[in-house]
Amino acid sequence: MAALLRAGLLVLALLWACGVQARPAIWQQQDALVLDDPHAAERWTQHELAAARVAGDVDAEFWLLLGAASVQDQLEDTPAQLALLHQAEALMNAWPGAGELHKAWLAQAMILADLREKPAAEIAARIAALRRQIEPLEASDLQCELASLDMWAMVYAGNNDEAWVAGEALERCAHAVGSLDQEVSALLQLGSLTSQVSGKVPAAGKGEDYFRRALALLGDRPARFMRSLLEWQLGNALVYSRQLQQARDHYEAALVLSRDLQDEAGIAAALIKVGERVLDDGNAEASLSMARDAQALMEAQHNEGRLMAAHVLVLRSLTALRRPDVLQAIEQARPLDAPERIASRRIELATAMAEGFASQGLYAKAYAELTRANLLRNEAKETLRDSQMLRLQARYEGARLDAENADLRRRSETAHLELVAQAATRRALWAALLALLVMLAGAAVLVVRGWRKRRHLAELALRDELTGLPNRRAIKAAGEAQLAQARQWQLPFSVALIDLDHFKQVNDRLGHAAGDAVLQALAAAAGRVLRGQDRLGRLGGEEFLLLMPGTTLSELNAVFDRLRATFAACEIAGLPSPHGVRFSMGGAEWQPGTDSLAALIDAADQALYVSKAAGRDQLSLAEPATVLLRMAVPA
């Protein structure tokens, strides 16, 4: 019964399709296998992974590595899970075909691997960053994964209210995309949380309703693993409602299923829960035996989170028996009490240590452990507040961007309607003039032709003829406007200078027609990867200026990587494939007190010089102090 507090996070990291695309058929068999037996899924995935490597199918190998890591997550074998994810990361970094979707899925899988052990504030920050990363991808299945990460992060942080909200969001998302495992997972957790959410006093049997709905979704599918999770979660729900004997029955049912599957983490988890109920019944010897069995299993698996729970039960059992070897057990458990562990587990361990010391008359040491437990509780509350603040900030940023986008759409629609009205007015005037003044028809035609010619010339004056991009005058005017808006609203604003590497060699070796094609390819690549509010203009020759409102300096690496990958994949007439042309980039971010676009561009130019001097084909970033310094120097 692996991943016991995350019932049913099955084959996370295999749902790779964007939008309405279906999941690849290659993983449908693994989905069904994990529902019933993760070890069978592990063997199948390893077989497919070996076949993909023999065939040289890098794309399939990447997704199968993520799938294999997901299976290890179910088995709670974190070292094996992280080893597989590092293999996937190394493969992706060496693979030119890797895109933003690969990066997003890998980031999601890395967060999933760290959920049990990393501090809540760190996990919340990484989830917020992932939310920004996947927003432009429009991948509905990734949005479900995000809701799932939210739910489990809140469960581990002890924030049941937020976990409930995220669980409901996950249920809706999973139902919409047709993800059975995630929908069952959400229902199991909602059933377990029903009696723990503030402001909710559920009607009798309300929590069980969620479990029954989960069973109905499973139907008659082979699903021993999922049913073991269901039994375990139902036991948890009954413990909260103080139905202890019924809870023990369900824990024992989960133990039977886990032993049948040889699921060591599941066996240990069920032994610990049954042992707690046995201890409550006064049979400390039996609970100690179960705790020792669970301890041995988790030591062999290096599952430190579950091992802490086993040590707690050992200490409680020895305390109840008033055995002096509780002191030795305390020292054996102490190395597990590391700062990176989840706070709730550390509090339980410190409390059990205090009770053990007290049972042997060592009251000073017992008091010290109780004091430490209280400090940990206070730290956990502060950490929870920090993580909640990060979530609120992420929500605020999302709402702000939505509002800004809505305002831009409204302005665009208003401008369009004004243009339509103006055009209609002009057509009416021309019709009246033509009807009333036929004699002036020839003159009117000449006027119209002249006006059209002037408009065309005006457009040509602001647009680069070769690439179709804004020319030097137009892009600098746009930059001045964006800088003014950034100063007014105190919003992020970055610029970057892009310069094609060894461009003269392209012209000299292949001719100016090939060089023109390279410039056009870079412009086309930018049009595919840049956001709607970003603007790229040609300053002249092979140099371009990129304006990025709402973008911080830390985000330029992602912009550079996307543009480089897309440009590298372009087919360019007159050049071999791949064409091998690269570019260097220097970026700078607006700082309060910087009122000159020229200073900002100059800072980016110096950063570009650093990229060129360092060997080209890379991005360099201007330090904020450099931007301010250049502003202080008279032009």
- 332-341, 422-431, 546-555: least confident range: 422-431
Helical ranges in 304-362 per DSSP H? 304-321, 326-333, 343-359
pLDDT over threshold 70, residue 257? yes
Domains (range + CATH), the chain: 1-219 (1.25.40.10), 472-632 (3.30.70.270)
- 146-150, 156-160, 444-448: least confident range: 444-448
Among residues 405, 391, 330, 397, the alpha carbon closest in space to that of 366 is found at 330
Please report, as a single letter, which amino acid is at residue 80: A
pLDDT over threshold 60, residue 2? no
**To 5 degrees, how large is the angle CA 67–CA 72–CA 73?**
90
The string of pLDDT tens digits covering residues 185-239 is 888 888 878 766 654 544 445 667 888 888 888 888 888 888 888 888 888 877 7
More confident residue, 14 or 54: 54
CB-CB contact of 539 with 545 (8 Å)? yes
Which H, E and C letters describe 25-41, residue by residue? Answer: HHHHHHHHHHHHCHHHH
Q: What residue has token string 């205090």?
A: 354
Structure tokens at 73: 């997550």
The string of pLDDT tens digits covering residues 27-68 is 667 777 888 888 888 999 899 899 999 999 998 899 889 888
> Alpha-carbon distance 388 to 178, whole Å?
30
pLDDT over threshold 50, residue 346? yes
> Alpha-carbon distance 291 to 310, whole Å?
5
